[in-house]
């Protein structure tokens, strides 16, 4: 299968549409890539819980941690699972609700102009080779499709929401990633 972006979607990604998205104020202003990490429950990988969270279907009784987050209305454009499978929740031309209260280079509301990619992981566990391979491939495609995103305009969630967020965390190998893009 050809690996490309078609109509603001990855051609090979599993598509699970999230209701947690909205129109961008300016759909042509896509100029930041934000990298996150997520695991549900924390520290556990696999399973349907991330999909359920991003689709407002997380059962607050299924795990004690879920009771505090099941009412959140959040999403990301993409999730890269530990095995390299890519899930797309929101087309790139729409605003995903991933950054929250944030700013980059003095500009607030990063959701308006960014693409958010979640890596299935934690701050304490290294990410997999398959995740880096997919992230690098996707980054190259995004840089080509949205030229306002440059290598200098790629940030971690912790960079755009310091003090509030810590992801992608110390186990994310920024030098490895930047060396491959």
Residue spans per domain, the chain: 5-180
What is the arithmetic mean of pLDDT over 13-20?
98
Nearest to 76 by CA among 60, 94, 58: 94
- Evaluate if residue 2 carries a pLDDT over 90: no
Of 1-5, 27-31, 142-146, give the lowest mean pLDDT range.
1-5
Nearest to 101 by CA among 116, 111, 90, 115: 111
* 3-state SS, residue 111: helix
The verdict on whether 118 is a catalytic residue reads yes
What is the arithmetic mean of pLDDT over 102-122?
98
Which CATH number is 5-180's, of 3.40.190.10, 3.40.1360.10, 3.40.50.720, 3.40.80.10? 3.40.80.10
pTM over 0.85: yes
Cα end-to-end distance, the chain, whole Å: 22
- Output the pLDDT for position 31: 98
Beta bridge partners of residue 9, listed in sequence order: 6
Please check whether residue 51 is in contact with residue 42, taking contact to mean a CB–CB distance below 8 angstroms. Answer: no
Catalytic residue from among 71, 109, 112, 118: 118
- Output the pLDDT for position 3: 87
- Output the pLDDT for position 181: 96
- Evaluate if residue 66 carries a pLDDT over 90: yes
- Output the pLDDT for position 1: 52
What are 67-84's pLDDT values in tens digits? 999 999 999 999 999 999
What is the arithmetic mean of pLDDT over 48-74?
97
What is the arithmetic mean of pLDDT over 115-135?
98
The span from the CA of 24 to the CA of 96, in Å, is 9
Q: How confident is the model at residue 139 (pLDDT cuts 50, 70, 90)?
A: very high
- Evaluate if residue 95 carries a pLDDT over 70: yes
């Amino acid at each position: 299968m050809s690996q490309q972006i078609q109509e603001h979607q990855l051609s090979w990604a599993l598509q699970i549409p999230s209701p947690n998205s909205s129109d961008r104020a300016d759909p042509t202003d896509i100029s930041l890539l934000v990298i996150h990490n997520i695991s549900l429950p924390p520290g556990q990988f696999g399973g349907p819980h991330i999909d359920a969270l991003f689709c407002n279907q997380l059962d607050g009784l299924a795990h004690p941690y879920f009771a505090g987050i099941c009412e959140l209305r959040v999403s990301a454009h993409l999730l890269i699972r530990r095995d390299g499978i890519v899930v797309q929740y929101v087309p790139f031309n729409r605003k995903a609700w991933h950054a929250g209260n944030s700013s980059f280079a003095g500009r607030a509301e990063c959701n308006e102009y960014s693409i958010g990619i979640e890596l299935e992981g934690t701050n304490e566990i290294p990410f997999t080779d398959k995740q880096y391979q997919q992230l690098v491939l996707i980054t190259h495609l995004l840089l080509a499709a949205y030229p306002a995103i440059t290598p200098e305009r790629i940030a971690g969630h912790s960079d755009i929401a310091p003090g509030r967020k810590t992801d992608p965390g110390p186990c994310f190998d920024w030098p490895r990633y930047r060396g491959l893009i």
